[in-house]
Amino acid sequence: MLLKDDPIWTDLKSDVLKIDELLKKAHQESVTGFIEFNFPDFSVAILLNEGEIHQCIKIKGGRAFPISKPEILKNLEKMKANVGFYRLEKEILSIICRIINSDPVFENMSSQYVDIKQLLLSLEKDDFTGVVAIHSEMEHCFIQLENGFPVHCICKRMKKVVDSTDCLERFLNLHDAMAVSVYKEGRKPDVVATLKKVTREVLGEPVEKIEKILEDSGTSRKELLKTVEEIEKLTYLFLSKKKAIKLSEKLKETIEEVTT
Protein backbone atom coordinates (compact mmCIF):
# COMPACT_ATOMS: atom_id res chain seq x y z
CA MET A 1 0.00 0.00 0.00
CA LEU A 2 2.80 2.44 0.92
CA LEU A 3 5.27 2.82 -1.93
CA LYS A 4 8.89 2.66 -0.73
CA ASP A 5 10.89 3.38 -3.87
CA ASP A 6 12.21 6.79 -2.71
CA PRO A 7 13.80 6.26 0.72
CA ILE A 8 15.37 9.04 2.78
CA TRP A 9 16.52 6.73 5.58
CA THR A 10 15.95 3.02 6.16
CA ASP A 11 16.78 0.41 8.81
CA LEU A 12 16.73 2.89 11.68
CA LYS A 13 16.08 1.61 15.21
CA SER A 14 13.35 3.21 17.30
CA ASP A 15 15.27 2.78 20.58
CA VAL A 16 18.07 5.07 19.38
CA LEU A 17 15.89 7.45 17.39
CA LYS A 18 14.20 10.62 18.63
CA ILE A 19 10.83 10.69 16.86
CA ASP A 20 10.23 14.39 17.55
CA GLU A 21 13.60 15.21 15.96
CA LEU A 22 12.63 13.20 12.89
CA LEU A 23 9.30 15.02 12.62
CA LYS A 24 11.11 18.33 13.11
CA LYS A 25 13.45 17.49 10.21
CA ALA A 26 10.45 16.56 8.04
CA HIS A 27 8.80 19.88 8.90
CA GLN A 28 11.95 21.93 8.19
CA GLU A 29 12.41 20.26 4.81
CA SER A 30 8.65 20.24 3.96
CA VAL A 31 8.80 16.51 3.24
CA THR A 32 5.77 14.82 1.68
CA GLY A 33 5.91 11.11 2.42
CA PHE A 34 5.75 8.90 5.47
CA ILE A 35 7.63 7.53 8.47
CA GLU A 36 6.96 3.83 8.97
CA PHE A 37 7.49 1.86 12.19
CA ASN A 38 7.61 -1.92 11.76
CA PHE A 39 6.72 -3.88 14.90
CA PRO A 40 6.76 -7.71 15.09
CA ASP A 41 3.04 -8.18 14.32
CA PHE A 42 2.01 -4.92 12.67
CA SER A 43 3.28 -1.60 11.42
CA VAL A 44 2.25 2.02 11.88
CA ALA A 45 2.98 5.07 9.76
CA ILE A 46 2.84 8.82 10.03
CA LEU A 47 1.82 10.31 6.68
CA LEU A 48 3.27 13.74 5.98
CA ASN A 49 2.13 16.50 3.64
CA GLU A 50 4.81 19.19 3.21
CA GLY A 51 6.19 18.38 6.65
CA GLU A 52 2.84 18.46 8.46
CA ILE A 53 1.24 15.34 9.92
CA HIS A 54 -1.56 14.45 7.52
CA GLN A 55 -2.76 11.17 9.03
CA CYS A 56 -1.53 8.32 11.22
CA ILE A 57 -2.36 4.73 10.31
CA LYS A 58 -1.92 1.18 11.57
CA ILE A 59 -1.40 -1.68 9.10
CA LYS A 60 -2.15 -5.24 10.18
CA GLY A 61 -3.06 -8.27 8.11
CA GLY A 62 -2.82 -6.18 4.94
CA ARG A 63 -5.48 -3.74 6.18
CA ALA A 64 -4.90 -0.11 7.12
CA PHE A 65 -6.99 2.04 9.42
CA PRO A 66 -6.55 5.45 11.09
CA ILE A 67 -5.06 5.77 14.57
CA SER A 68 -3.71 8.71 16.57
CA LYS A 69 -0.14 9.88 17.09
CA PRO A 70 -0.40 9.24 20.89
CA GLU A 71 -1.20 5.58 20.10
CA ILE A 72 1.96 5.31 18.02
CA LEU A 73 4.03 6.80 20.84
CA LYS A 74 2.50 4.32 23.33
CA ASN A 75 3.46 1.42 21.05
CA LEU A 76 7.02 2.76 20.84
CA GLU A 77 7.24 2.92 24.64
CA LYS A 78 6.35 -0.79 24.86
CA MET A 79 8.16 -2.24 21.83
CA LYS A 80 11.12 -1.64 19.57
CA ALA A 81 10.52 -1.03 15.87
CA ASN A 82 12.49 -0.78 12.66
CA VAL A 83 11.97 2.67 11.17
CA GLY A 84 11.95 3.86 7.57
CA PHE A 85 11.52 7.39 6.21
CA TYR A 86 10.29 7.73 2.61
CA ARG A 87 9.25 10.42 0.14
CA LEU A 88 5.96 10.25 -1.79
CA GLU A 89 4.56 12.42 -4.52
CA LYS A 90 1.60 14.49 -3.32
CA GLU A 91 -0.69 12.88 -5.89
CA ILE A 92 0.21 9.40 -4.63
CA LEU A 93 -0.22 10.45 -0.98
CA SER A 94 -3.68 11.80 -1.77
CA ILE A 95 -4.84 8.59 -3.47
CA ILE A 96 -3.37 6.40 -0.70
CA CYS A 97 -5.31 8.40 1.88
CA ARG A 98 -8.48 7.78 -0.15
CA ILE A 99 -7.76 4.05 -0.07
CA ILE A 100 -7.11 4.04 3.68
CA ASN A 101 -10.48 5.67 4.30
CA SER A 102 -12.35 3.33 1.95
CA ASP A 103 -13.76 -0.18 2.29
CA PRO A 104 -11.99 -2.95 0.30
CA VAL A 105 -14.19 -4.83 -2.17
CA PHE A 106 -11.27 -7.17 -2.91
CA GLU A 107 -7.49 -6.85 -2.72
CA ASN A 108 -4.49 -8.18 -4.64
CA MET A 109 -6.45 -10.37 -7.03
CA SER A 110 -4.28 -11.68 -9.86
CA SER A 111 -4.96 -10.31 -13.35
CA GLN A 112 -5.01 -13.97 -14.35
CA TYR A 113 -8.46 -14.17 -12.77
CA VAL A 114 -9.88 -10.73 -13.47
CA ASP A 115 -10.22 -8.91 -16.78
CA ILE A 116 -9.38 -5.32 -15.85
CA LYS A 117 -11.19 -3.77 -18.83
CA GLN A 118 -14.35 -5.75 -18.03
CA LEU A 119 -13.99 -4.81 -14.36
CA LEU A 120 -13.95 -1.10 -15.20
CA LEU A 121 -17.00 -1.50 -17.45
CA SER A 122 -18.83 -3.32 -14.66
CA LEU A 123 -17.95 -0.59 -12.12
CA GLU A 124 -19.17 2.05 -14.58
CA LYS A 125 -22.49 0.20 -14.89
CA ASP A 126 -22.78 0.06 -11.09
CA ASP A 127 -22.10 3.83 -10.70
CA PHE A 128 -19.19 2.88 -8.46
CA THR A 129 -17.33 5.53 -6.46
CA GLY A 130 -13.90 4.62 -5.15
CA VAL A 131 -10.41 3.60 -6.27
CA VAL A 132 -9.06 0.79 -8.44
CA ALA A 133 -5.39 0.03 -7.77
CA ILE A 134 -3.31 -2.01 -10.21
CA HIS A 135 0.24 -3.07 -9.42
CA SER A 136 2.83 -4.83 -11.54
CA GLU A 137 6.43 -5.54 -10.57
CA MET A 138 7.65 -2.20 -11.93
CA GLU A 139 4.54 -0.02 -12.12
CA HIS A 140 1.58 1.20 -10.09
CA CYS A 141 -1.67 2.64 -11.40
CA PHE A 142 -4.49 4.24 -9.37
CA ILE A 143 -7.85 5.05 -10.97
CA GLN A 144 -10.29 7.23 -9.08
CA LEU A 145 -13.92 6.63 -10.07
CA GLU A 146 -16.91 8.89 -9.40
CA ASN A 147 -20.28 7.29 -10.16
CA GLY A 148 -18.50 4.81 -12.41
CA PHE A 149 -16.60 7.44 -14.42
CA PRO A 150 -12.76 7.66 -14.20
CA VAL A 151 -12.11 11.23 -13.06
CA HIS A 152 -8.45 10.83 -12.17
CA CYS A 153 -5.68 8.42 -13.10
CA ILE A 154 -2.18 8.35 -11.64
CA CYS A 155 0.49 5.90 -12.75
CA LYS A 156 4.02 5.52 -11.42
CA ARG A 157 6.89 3.75 -13.14
CA MET A 158 10.14 3.71 -11.17
CA LYS A 159 10.23 7.32 -9.84
CA LYS A 160 8.25 8.93 -12.67
CA VAL A 161 4.60 9.86 -12.09
CA VAL A 162 2.21 10.27 -15.01
CA ASP A 163 -1.08 11.99 -14.29
CA SER A 164 -3.29 11.41 -17.33
CA THR A 165 -5.69 8.93 -18.91
CA ASP A 166 -2.97 8.00 -21.43
CA CYS A 167 -1.15 6.08 -18.72
CA LEU A 168 -4.25 3.98 -18.03
CA GLU A 169 -4.59 2.93 -21.68
CA ARG A 170 -0.96 1.90 -21.76
CA PHE A 171 -1.28 0.02 -18.48
CA LEU A 172 -4.33 -1.91 -19.67
CA ASN A 173 -2.37 -3.13 -22.69
CA LEU A 174 0.50 -4.53 -20.63
CA HIS A 175 0.89 -8.30 -20.54
CA ASP A 176 2.73 -8.35 -17.20
CA ALA A 177 1.32 -10.19 -14.20
CA MET A 178 -0.64 -7.66 -12.14
CA ALA A 179 -2.41 -7.48 -8.79
CA VAL A 180 -5.78 -5.69 -8.77
CA SER A 181 -7.55 -4.13 -5.77
CA VAL A 182 -10.88 -2.30 -5.58
CA TYR A 183 -11.81 0.09 -2.74
CA LYS A 184 -15.28 1.55 -2.27
CA GLU A 185 -15.39 5.04 -0.88
CA GLY A 186 -16.64 4.97 2.70
CA ARG A 187 -18.69 7.64 4.39
CA LYS A 188 -16.44 10.31 5.83
CA PRO A 189 -16.80 10.76 9.57
CA ASP A 190 -18.80 13.77 10.69
CA VAL A 191 -15.90 15.53 12.40
CA VAL A 192 -17.96 18.34 13.93
CA ALA A 193 -20.53 15.93 15.36
CA THR A 194 -17.72 13.86 16.90
CA LEU A 195 -16.11 16.93 18.48
CA LYS A 196 -19.48 18.08 19.84
CA LYS A 197 -19.91 14.68 21.49
CA VAL A 198 -16.46 14.93 23.09
CA THR A 199 -17.27 18.43 24.37
CA ARG A 200 -20.48 17.24 26.00
CA GLU A 201 -18.72 14.28 27.62
CA VAL A 202 -15.98 16.47 29.11
CA LEU A 203 -18.18 19.37 30.24
CA GLY A 204 -21.21 17.25 31.22
CA GLU A 205 -23.61 19.32 29.11
CA PRO A 206 -23.86 20.99 25.71
CA VAL A 207 -22.47 24.55 25.58
CA GLU A 208 -24.15 26.54 22.84
CA LYS A 209 -21.28 28.97 22.21
CA ILE A 210 -18.73 26.16 21.84
CA GLU A 211 -20.98 24.15 19.53
CA LYS A 212 -21.50 27.25 17.39
CA ILE A 213 -17.71 27.72 17.13
CA LEU A 214 -17.35 24.09 16.01
CA GLU A 215 -20.12 24.46 13.42
CA ASP A 216 -18.38 27.52 11.95
CA SER A 217 -14.97 25.83 11.85
CA GLY A 218 -13.28 24.47 8.77
CA THR A 219 -12.66 20.73 8.70
CA SER A 220 -8.95 20.55 7.86
CA ARG A 221 -6.61 19.53 10.66
CA LYS A 222 -5.04 23.01 10.76
CA GLU A 223 -8.41 24.80 10.94
CA LEU A 224 -9.72 22.46 13.64
CA LEU A 225 -6.64 22.91 15.83
CA LYS A 226 -7.02 26.68 15.55
CA THR A 227 -10.68 26.27 16.60
CA VAL A 228 -9.57 24.26 19.66
CA GLU A 229 -7.38 27.17 20.77
CA GLU A 230 -10.41 29.46 20.61
CA ILE A 231 -12.54 26.95 22.55
CA GLU A 232 -9.84 26.57 25.22
CA LYS A 233 -9.78 30.35 25.81
CA LEU A 234 -13.58 30.49 26.01
CA THR A 235 -13.75 27.54 28.42
CA TYR A 236 -11.04 29.09 30.61
CA LEU A 237 -12.89 32.41 30.79
CA PHE A 238 -16.40 31.10 31.49
CA LEU A 239 -15.82 27.74 33.21
CA SER A 240 -12.42 26.81 34.63
CA LYS A 241 -8.76 26.39 33.75
CA LYS A 242 -8.91 22.67 34.60
CA LYS A 243 -11.84 22.02 32.25
CA ALA A 244 -10.24 24.15 29.54
CA ILE A 245 -7.03 22.09 29.58
CA LYS A 246 -8.86 18.75 29.72
CA LEU A 247 -11.25 19.69 26.90
CA SER A 248 -8.40 20.99 24.74
CA GLU A 249 -6.44 17.74 25.18
CA LYS A 250 -9.45 15.54 24.37
CA LEU A 251 -10.39 17.58 21.30
CA LYS A 252 -6.82 17.46 19.96
CA GLU A 253 -6.65 13.67 20.48
CA THR A 254 -9.96 13.29 18.60
CA ILE A 255 -8.77 15.50 15.73
CA GLU A 256 -5.68 13.30 15.38
CA GLU A 257 -7.94 10.24 15.11
CA VAL A 258 -10.62 11.45 12.71
CA THR A 259 -9.06 13.97 10.34
CA THR A 260 -7.82 12.83 6.97
The DSSP secondary structure of 198-210, one letter per residue, reads HHHHHHSS--HHH
Q: Whole-model pTM?
A: 0.66
Q: Using an 8 Å Cβ cutoff, are 103 and 59 in contact?
A: no
For residues 120-145, give the mean pLDDT: 91
**pLDDT at residue number 87:** 93
Helix residue spans in 46-204 (DSSP H): 69-78, 90-100, 116-125, 165-172, 191-203
**pLDDT at residue number 98:** 86
Going by pLDDT thresholds of 50, 70 and 90, the confidence category of residue 202 is very high
Whether 258 has a pLDDT exceeding 80, the answer reads no
Tell me the percentage of the chain whose pLDDT exceeds 90.
38
Domain boundaries, the chain: 7-88, 100-185, 191-258
Whether 190 has a pLDDT exceeding 70, the answer reads no
Going by pLDDT thresholds of 50, 70 and 90, the confidence category of residue 172 is confident
For residues 77-96, give the mean pLDDT: 91
- Least confident range from 117-121, 122-126, 185-189: namely 185-189
CA dist., res. 123 & res. 146, Å (int): 10
Going by pLDDT thresholds of 50, 70 and 90, the confidence category of residue 106 is very high
Q: Which amino acid is at 123?
A: L
What's the residue count for the chain?
A: 260
Q: Where are the beta strands (DSSP E) in the chain?
A: 7-13, 33-38, 43-49, 52-60, 63-67, 82-87, 102-110, 130-135, 139-146, 149-157, 160-162, 179-185
Residue predicted with more confidence, 101 or 219: 101
**pLDDT at residue number 35:** 95
Whether 34 has a pLDDT exceeding 80, the answer reads yes
**pLDDT at residue number 164:** 67
**pLDDT at residue number 44:** 94
- Least confident range from 85-89, 157-161, 191-195: namely 157-161
Going by pLDDT thresholds of 50, 70 and 90, the confidence category of residue 145 is very high
**pLDDT at residue number 259:** 64
Q: Using an 8 Å Cβ cutoff, are 199 and 247 in contact?
A: yes
Residue predicted with more confidence, 65 or 211: 211
**pLDDT at residue number 173:** 75
